[in-house]
Structure 1
Amino acid sequence: MQFNVILGAIALCCLASCQDFLEPESISTFDTEYVFSNVDDARKGVNAIYVPFGDDAFRSRLSNNMAANTDIERQSGWTSSGDRYQIWDLQALSSNNDLRRVWNAAYQAIRDANIAIEGIEGGEAINSADVATVRTMNHLLGEAYTLRAYWYSMLTYYFGDVPNVRQAPKAGNEFFLERTNRNEILSQVIEDMIAVEGNMMWAEDLPYGIEQVNREFTLGMIARIALQRGGYYLQPDLTQAREGDYLDYYQIAKDYTERLMNLKDRELPRDFRQVFLNNSKFISPTNSDVLFEVPFAIGNGDVGWNIGIRVDGGATAAHNYGSGNNYLAIPPTYYYSFDTADIRRDVTCAFWKINVDGEVEITNGGITNIAQGKWSRWFLDNPPGASTAKGTGINWPMLRYADVILMHAEAENELNGPTGLAQESLKRVRRRAFRENEWNDKVDGYVSTVSTSKEDFFEAIVDERAWEFGGEMIRKFELIRWGNYSEKMEETVENLKAMADAAVTGTGKYAYLPDYIYWKVDESGDFVVLNPDSEVAVPPDDSWNREAWTLALSDEITVYDEWILKDWRNYIDEGPRPGIVRYVFPIPEEAITNSQGTLANDGYEF
Structure 2
Amino acid sequence: MHAIPLKTNNFNSMKKNIKIIVFALLIIGSSISCEDYLETDSNSTFTEETAFSNLDFATKAVFGIYGNITSYYMYTYHLGLFYKCDTDIELSLSEDNGSNRSLAHYAGTEGSTGLDRVWNLMYQTIERANICIDNLPQSPIWEGEYSDEAHRLYGEAVTLRALLYYELVNLWGDVPFKVKSTQDGDDYYLPKTDRDLIYEHLIQDLADVEEYVPWMTVTGTAERVNRAFVKGLRARMALSYAGYSLRNTSFETRRGRYWEDYYKIANEECREIMESGKHTLNPDFENIFKTIHAYSQDLTYKEVLFEVPYGRTYSGRVAYSIGMKHRSNDTKYGKAAAEICVAPNYFYSFNRNDIRRDVSVALFDYNNSKNVGKQYLLPYNKADYYKPTKWRRSWIDPALGGGASKVSYTGVNWPLMRYADVILMFAESENEMNGPTPAAKSALSLVRQRAFSEGDWATDVVNYVDSVSTNKESFFNAIVDERAWEFGGEMLRKYDLVRWNLLGTKLDEMQEDCQKLINGDPKYAHVPTYIYWKYLDDNETIEILNPDYEMPSSVSVEGYTKSSWIPKMSDSHKSTYTYRMSIAAHGYDRTKNNHLYPIHSDVLSASNGMLTNDQIP
Q: Letter of the aligned partner of 1:411 in structure 2?
A: S
Range that drifts further, 300-309 or 285-294: 285-294
1:599 maps onto 2:616 in alignment: no
The one of 71, 74, 85 aligned to 1:68: 85
Q: State percent identity of aligned pairs.
A: 34
Alignment partners' CA distance in 2, 1:553 and 1:470: 29
Compare 550-559 and 163-172 and name the one that shifted more.
550-559
Partners of 1:95 and 1:2 in 2: CA distance: 21
C-alpha distance after superposition, 1:149-206 (max 9, x if no partner)? 1111111111111000111122022211011111111111111111001111122322
- Say if 2:451 is the partner of 1:436: no
Name the SS for the 1:333 alignment partner. coil
TM-score, normalization: structure 1? 0.91
- Greater relative CO, 1 or 2 (CA 8 Å, sep 6+): 2
User: Cα distance, 1:26 vs. partner?
Assistant: 11
Q: What do residues 234-280 of structure 1 show as CA deviations (whole Å, max 9, x unaligned)?
A: 02343211134101000000011111112244331111000010111
- Find the counterpart in structure 2 of residue 113 from structure 1: 129
Q: Does the alignment pair 1:348 with 2:365? A: no
Q: TM-score, with normalisation over the residues of structure 2?
A: 0.89
Residue aligning to 1:570: 587
Structure-to-structure mapping, 1:194-213, within 5 angstroms = 194-206=207-219, 209-213=221-225
CA–CA distance in 2 between the matches of 1:143 and 1:182?
22
Cα shift readout 1:335-355 (whole Å, capped 9, x = no counterpart): 111110000000101222224
Which position in structure 1 is the counterpart of 2:563? 546
Could you tell me which of 597, 602, 606 is aligned with 1:590? Answer: 602
* CA displacement 1:526-581 (0-9 Å, x = unmatched): 2222221122324413641514324448537838621233423333xxx3xx4443
| Structure 1 gap ranges (5+) | 15-22
Q: Which residues in structure 2 correspond to 1:226-237 (within 5 Å)?
A: 226-236=238-248, 237=250
State the SS of the aligned residue for 1:308. coil
In 2, distance between residues paired with 1:412 and 1:333? 30
- How far apart, CA to CA, are the structure 1 residues paired with 2:452 and 2:42? 51
Q: Structure 2: 5+ residue runs without aligned partners?
A: 1-20
Q: Distance in 1 between matches of 2:414 and 2:211?
A: 26
Instruction: Determine helix, strand or coil for the equivalent of 1:374.
Output: coil
Which residue does the alignment assign to 2:533? 519
Match of 1:558, SS? helix
Partner of residue 390 from structure 1, selected from 408, 426, 449:
408
- Is 1:418–2:431 an aligned residue pair? no
Contact 1:12 1:26 in 2 (8 A): no
| 8 Å CA contact retained: 1:296, 1:395 | yes
Distance 1:24 1:467 in 2: 47
Report the more deviating stretch, 304-313 or 444-453.
Answer: 304-313
Give the aligned partner of residue 304 of structure 1: 319
| SS of corresponding position for 2:78 | helix
Q: For the Cα contact (< 8 Å) 1:493–1:568, is it kept in 2?
A: no
Contact 1:57–1:98 (CA under 8 A) maintained in structure 2: no
Question: Partners in 1 of 2:177 and 2:192 — Cα distance?
Answer: 7
Amino acid in the other structure paired with 1:399: M
**Is 1:11 equivalent to 2:23 in the alignment?**
no
Greater shift after overlay, 515-524 or 230-239? 515-524
Note the alpha carbon deviations across 1:259-303, whole angstroms, 9 max, x for none.
111224433111100001011101112342101111101121000
Are 1:95 and 2:119 matched, yes or no?
A: no
Q: Is residue 156 from structure 1 mapped to residue 169 from structure 2 by the alignment? A: yes
Answer with 556-565 or 248-257: which moved more: 556-565
Alpha-carbon distance between aligned partners in 2 of 1:178 and 1:290, rounded to the nearest angstrom: 37
1:25-79 superposed Cα distances (whole Å, 9 cap, x missing partner): 99956412221121111111011112332254234134x33211111111125x2
Contact persistence 1:418–1:457 (CA under 8 A):
yes
CA distance in 2, matches of 1:363, 1:440: 34
Indicate the residue corresponding to 1:283 in structure 2: 296
How far off is 1:13 after superposition?
Answer: 5.1
Q: Is contact 2:22-2:30 (8 Å) kept? A: no
How far apart, CA to CA, are the structure 2 residues paired with 1:220 and 1:193?
10
Q: Which residue of 2 aligns with 1:17?
A: none
Q: How does 1:477-556 map to 2 (within 5 A)?
A: 477-502=495-520, 508-524=522-538, 525-536=540-551, 537=553, 538-541=555-558, 543-544=560-561, 546-552=563-569, 555=572
2:226 corresponds to which of 207, 211, 214: 214
User: What amino acid is the match of 2:530?
Assistant: Y
Q: Secondary structure at the match of 1:565?
A: helix
Q: How does 1:16-31 map to 2 (within 5 A)?
A: 30-31=46-47
Q: How does 1:171-210 map to 2 (within 5 A)?
A: 171-206=184-219, 209-210=221-222
Give 2:12's aligned residue: none
Give 3-state SS (helix, strand or coil) of 1:517's partner.
strand
2-side partners of 1:590 and 1:103: how far apart?
A: 11
Aligned to 1:179, the other structure's residue is in SS state coil
> Alpha-carbon deviation of 1:453?
0.2
In the alignment, what sits opposite 2:394? Answer: 378
Residue aligned with 1:570, SS: coil
Task: Say whether the 8 Å CA contact 1:332–1:367 is kept in structure 2.
Answer: no
Code of the residue aligned with 1:71 in structure 2: it is D
* Alignment pair present for 1:45 and 2:61: yes
CA-CA distance at 1:520 after TM superposition: 2.7
Q: Contact 1:582–1:604 (CA<8 Å) still a contact in 2?
A: yes
Q: 2 CA distance for matches of 1:552 and 1:363?
A: 13
Q: Is contact 2:91–2:343 with CA below 8 Å preserved after alignment?
A: yes
Q: Distance in 2 between matches of 1:428 and 1:594?
A: 51
Secondary structure at 2:137 match in 1: helix
Letter in structure 2 aligned against 1:288:
K
Name the CA shift for 1:451/1:426 in 2 (closer, same or farther; >3 Å).
same
Paired AA for residue 484 in structure 1: L
Question: Structure 1 residues 246-255 or 534-543, which shifts more?
Answer: 534-543
| 8 Å Cα contact 1:320/1:386 also seen in 2 | no
Secondary structure, in 3 states, of the residue corresponding to 2:346?
helix
Q: Aligned partners of 2:523, 2:177: CA distance in 1, in Å?
A: 50
The 3 A distance-change label for structure 1 pair 591 and 553 is farther
Using the alignment, how far apart are the partners of 1:171 and 1:163 within structure 2?
Answer: 19
The answer to whether the 8 Å contact 1:323/1:386 transfers is no
AA at the equivalent of 2:444: L
The answer to whether the 8 A contact 1:570-1:581 is kept is no
Structure 2 CA distance for aligned equivalents of residues 366 and 557 of structure 1: 7
CA contact 1:342–1:434 (8 Å) conserved in 2: yes
| Distance of 2:214 and 2:240 partners within structure 1 | 25
Q: Are residues 120 and 228 of structure 1, via their aligned partners in 2, closer, same or farther at CA, if it must alter by over 3 Å?
A: same
Q: What is the CA distance between 1:108 and its match in structure 2?
A: 1.3
The match for 1:144 among 144, 157, 161 is: 157
